[in-house]
Structure 1
Amino acid sequence: MDNLINSAVDVDELAGLACPIGIFYGDVLTRNISGAHWEVRGNGSPCVRVTKTLAVEVVEVVEVVKVVRLVSTLANSASRALGGSIFVSFST
């Protein structure tokens, strides 16, 4: 999944990957956390219910990671263009 995200050429390509990556993430959660199961929110978005009080919006998590990586990439590109005075790194 990281390779898919990192190899995406543009924002539109990344946007197209959010749902499949989110579904994969949800599958990992449901297969590895006892009692975790799929739910569909009122707005139609998929989520994984992990506990009675915790549900993970799997596609939204991917969207956030995508934005964070994009901001990091843009900031580092700008830094290189300005002589390397800034470095931005986010852990995901």
Structure 2
Amino acid sequence: MPVIKLNISGQVQGVGYRYWFAEQAQQLGLKGYVKNLSIGGVEAVIAGTDSQLQEMITRSWQGPACANVQAVIQEHLESDLDAQDFRILR
């Protein structure tokens, strides 16, 4: 199963972005996690089919109403993600 890491920047902390992202990922049936970064922005590691991942990348640009996403940088990971569900990390 393909795994990608997304680094999402812009106004994405303090606006409910992680919770919104987790809801979207769960709707799509993705596995993985989302967390805030200490340098600002949000990191997500997601595993799913190619079409699920593409849809989540597209949705990542939206975010909740108060968010302002400026960039979504993706990196394909070679390792297998050992996740049974989708989580929000603190």
TM-score > 0.5 by shorter chain: no
TM-score scaled by structure 2? 0.31
* Larger RCO (alpha carbons 8 Å, 6+ apart): 2
Q: Which structure has greater strand proportion?
A: 2
- Greater helix percent: which structure? 1
